[in-house]
Homo-oligomer: A and B are copies of this chain.
């Protein structure tokens, strides 16, 4: 059985993993779902990417976890790549689930198509606290299109604003790219949070991992809400020896 640490993406926090975590625990795995610094409701949004990384490093070391299978979703990919640079000795494998694998020296923002870069910059500038809220039409059409209207609405209410600075911080990632940790990429085949093709997740992001294990499943970017059992199965296949 695996020791899994699941790192959420933008607009999410740790408790939102619960449906997936339950399926994984029912199958015998140990599952941790820490919240990344600056994420969730009622917390300050003035964090940078190092704060995000440090919060996950702290969660793993505080619980004294070893042989961790560390999974990052979406923005969480940038975090697990950095965590793998800080505490590789505690990790067994990295899993990127429709996650960013920034090219060396890039920020997450550098990996976004232009229309997202503009939208996020404008939204953050218009906010009180340099954060970005998720517009419902974008959520419903491009992030969670495999949900019915009710689930799309109820999950949207659980989101929180995303701190913008971590999108902008350049990530060196030299040690990550030199790492020989085994790596998996989970690709949900209907994920359009990044537009398929030139700017898509797979194989653009996955192809940067060198030798990696691909697991695909049907579903949107938010299949954690629409089919948590299916995602749990994909995570098991990505995590196993």
Contact = CB atoms under 8 A, between A and B. Distances in A.
Interface size class on chain A is: 20 to 34
A216 B216 CA distance: 14
Contact of A190 (B182, B204, B215, B240): B215
A211 interface: yes
Interface in A35-74: none
A149 interface: yes
B190 A196 contact: no
A148 B237 CA distance: 8
Number of copies: 3
A66 B182 CA distance: 48
27 contacts: A137-B211, A138-B211, A141-B182, A141-B211, A141-B212, A142-B213, A145-B213, A145-B214, A145-B215, A146-B215, A146-B237, A148-B240, A149-B241, A189-B189, A189-B216, A190-B215, A190-B216, A192-B214, A195-B203, A195-B207, A196-B203, A196-B206, A196-B207, A196-B214, A197-B203, A197-B204, A197-B207
For the complex of A and B, 10 pairs with smallest distance between CB atoms:
A197-B203, A196-B203, A145-B213, A149-B241, A141-B213, A192-B214, A141-B211, A190-B216, A190-B214, A197-B207
Interface of A: 137-138, 140-142, 145-146, 148-149, 182, 189-190, 192, 195-197, 200, 202-204, 206-207, 211-216, 218, 237, 240-241
